[in-house]
Each structure stands twice: as C-alpha cells, then as structure tokens.
Amino acid sequence: LQQRRGVRLSAPAAIQVTVRDALNQALDEELERDERVFLLGEEVAQYDGAYKISRGLWKKYGDKRVIDTPISEMGFTGIAVGAAMAGLRPVCEFMTFNFSMQAIDQVINSAAKTCYMSAGSIAVPVVFRGPNGASAGVAAQHSQCFAAWYGHCPGLKVVSPWSSEDAKGLLKASIRDDNPVVMLENELLYGVPFEMSEQAQSKDFVVPIGKAKIEREGTHVTLVSHSRPVGHCLEAAAVLAKEGVECEVINLRTIRPMDIEAVEASVIKTNHLVTVEGGWPQFGVGAEICARIMEGPAFNYLDAPAVRVTGADVPMPYAKILEDNCIPQVKDIIFAVKKTLNI
C-alpha cells in the first residue's frame, strides 16, 4: 500500500558481522535445528570457548549438547568419530589445528576411510574445526597451515573460509554433510567484521562445499587463494588497479573437493595465474592448483608460467620481523603479479 502511495521502502540492509559471531550463529542455528548435533572440545562449554566461538551455547543447550573435554585430542576426537558412526552429528573443536596432530590417526584412519571400507554402509558425519595457519607471535609449533595435509586425504572434505558469510555458510553446510569435514578457520580473522547480506542472515543459508567464489572480476591475471590471504589478494588487486592491472581474485573456500573449473575458466580469460597461500611451498595447495591447470584445458591459454606465493619453507620464527618475512604480504603478491605479466 505504501509503495502504491509512492513511499519508497528500503530493502533490509546488509550488516557487519565478525567471523567469530558468524560461527557462533551457525553453531546456534544448527544445534537448534537438529538435536543430533553437539559440540565438544577443550573449554567449549563453561568458558565459552578459547576464542569465544561457542559463547552462550552451553547456557542455552546444556551439558549434553556442549561438552567440555579433558586435554586429550586423541580421546575426544575418537569419541566424536564414534558418535558420528552411531548416528549423531558431532562438531569437534581443536583449540588449534596444530594440536590435531595428536588425533590425526582418528581423523584420517577412522573418520575419512570408514565409509569406503564399509562399502558405504557407515557414514561419519563429523566436523573437525578450529583455527589453522599462522597466528601472531606463537612460533613454530602453533603456526602451520594444514590445508595440504588434510586436503591430501580421500574421504575428507576440507573447507577454508575467509569472510563471515564463508564461515557461517560453510560451517552449516559441513554440519549437514554426511561426510567428515575439516574446517580450517583463521584466528586472526575471528575479530574481523565483514558485510553479511540479508540472505546470509537467514537460518537456511549455506555455502555449497566445493564451490569457489570470484571476489573481484578482472581481465589481466588470476589470483587464487583461501582463508586470510584472500584479503591480501584483494588489497594487492586494489593497488595494481591504480596501475592499470585488473586482477581476478578467486576465493577457493573449499580445498577438497577443489573447484578447479572456476580456476580454469578464469585462467582462460586472463591468461595468467598466481596462487597465494600461507602454507609451505612443497606439496602445497598452490602446487596442486598449478599441476591441475597444467594437466587441463586451461594450460594452452597461459601466456606465462604460473607463479606461487607461499609461506617461507622454514618453521615459523618467533621474532615478529622474521615472522612477517615468512608470511606472504601484499607486496609479495604485487611483485609476483608484475613478474608474471613482465612489467
């Protein structure tokens, strides 16, 4: 009626939501939606989580749905995998994925392979989630990226969100998936606010696993990344745009199964490829992308060799100046693009 009278009604605006709050929303909505879902891990209940991802959930859902565990990754990961085999949908939080090394036998040998070894008769719908990659000032044993480690293993799905929409949509999709999913978050993104659309605010919003997203359209070079380095790629693209170089930035979102078709389509358009990641170079995500492009239809469209921008091939130093030199920076991406384009 107001529209007929000429009153202009504004559409509901997008809002700013931090990655932490987006993850909290996803957990809250899925715990409410499906009584089989429960969260377990160190300090996830009464303390509201080491990074406050589970804030308020224990008070709302109680001891049976949000469970504090002893400091024993092998133990509580085994409990999560067994519960999934028995028909529940556990969300298993690692305080950091560096500590998942204590439980990698359960993730790889129990969760990932059981569906195959049972000829499809036993599903393992479990989500392993927590911070991954370098944080700040926590040195070598707490600063590894495990995307390549878990992406290597058939039977797992591996997702790696960047924005708040990524985080919420991928976590909800992972909880609803019938396969074991490893969700690699980034601690340095937890407090970062991103715009969240009206659609993403819906309880029905999910991000399909296995689909990349073009964050910025471009014509001269393709930048492919995941997690926090996506932001670095967008910053580099903004700088390069002032010099007349238009970068297409692809946010992978999913490491396994990888949306190589999206990368191929972009490379066919731009004729140049630069991959960016925080992990080590050898056998990394960028190495896999380069190999897949070389083996596929996009190879003949490349006008220059693909270039990888990665973390340094060393354990992470503690000193900040050395740490900064071990993690890809915006200047490193700009240098790689200019090298690829021979400018």
42-95 residue pLDDT tens: 999 999 999 999 999 999 999 999 999 999 999 999 999 999 999 999 999 999
Whether residues 337 and 219 fall in one domain: yes
* Residue 268 forms part of a structural domain: yes
**Looking at the predicted structure, is the pLDDT value of residue 5 above 90?**
no
Give the residue numbers spanning the domain of 230: 213-341
CATH of the domain at 297: 3.40.50.920
Same-domain pairing of 39 and 172: yes
Same domain, 83 and 142: yes
**Residue 205 near residue 199, CB atoms below 8 Å:** yes
Q: Is residue 10 in some structural domain?
A: no
In a domain, 6, yes or no: no
Contact call for residues 28 and 57 (beta carbons, < 8 A): yes
pLDDT surpassing 60 at residue 9: no
Same domain, 164 and 239: no
In the prediction, which pLDDT does 4 show? 45
Helix, strand, or coil (residue 307): strand
Average pLDDT, the chain: 95
What's residue 13's pLDDT? 75
* Prediction pTM value: 0.93
- Answer yes or no: are the C-beta atoms of 143 and 316 closer than 8 Å: yes
Distance CA 63, CA 332 (A): 47
Which strands sit side by side in the sheet containing 66-68, from one edge to the other? 66-68, 37-41, 89-93, 127-131, 181-185, 157-159, 254-256
Nearest to 290 by CA among 302, 304, 306: 306
Q: pLDDT tens, 249-273?
A: 999 999 999 999 999 999 999 999 9
Residues 21 and 164 in one domain: yes
pLDDT at 279 over 60: yes
CATH label of the domain that carries residue 144: 3.40.50.970
Q: pLDDT tens across 304-318, in order?
A: 999 999 999 999 999
Q: Which of 73, 248, 264, 277 is catalytic?
A: 73
Residues 167 and 239 in one domain: no
Tell me if 219 is assigned to some domain.
Answer: yes
Residue that finishes a domain, picked among 175, 201, 227:
201
pLDDT at 14: 85
> Do residues 220 and 316 both lie within one domain?
yes
Q: Of these residues, 43, 142, 152, 246, which one is catalytic?
A: 142
Ramachandran sector of residue 253 (left: φ over 0; alpha: ψ -120 to 50; beta: rest): left
- Shared domain check, 236 and 184: no
In the chain, what is the straight-line distance between the N-terminal and C-terminal CA atoms, in Å? 59
Instruction: Give me the mean pLDDT over the 14-24 stretch.
Output: 96
Shared domain for 275 and 327, answered yes or no, is yes
Is the pLDDT at 1 greater than 50? The verdict is no
Tally of domains in the chain: 2
Told to judge if 232 belongs to the known catalytic residues of this protein, a careful annotator would answer no
Which segments of the chain does DSSP mark as H helices, in order?
19-33, 57-61, 73-85, 104-105, 113-117, 147-151, 164-176, 229-241, 260-270, 285-295, 320-326, 330-341
Looking at the structure, tell me whether residues 194 and 328 fall in a common domain.
Answer: no
- pLDDT beyond 70 at 218: yes
Residues 325, 188 share a domain: no
Indicate whether 324 pLDDT > 80. yes
Q: Is 220 a catalytic residue?
A: no
Specify whether 251 is located in the same domain as 302. yes
- Neighbouring C-beta atoms of residue 80, cutoff 10 Å: 32
Measure the CA–CA gap between 272 and 24, rounded to whole angstroms. 38
Using the 3D structure, point to which of 201, 230, 246 is the last residue of a domain: 201
- 7: in domain: no
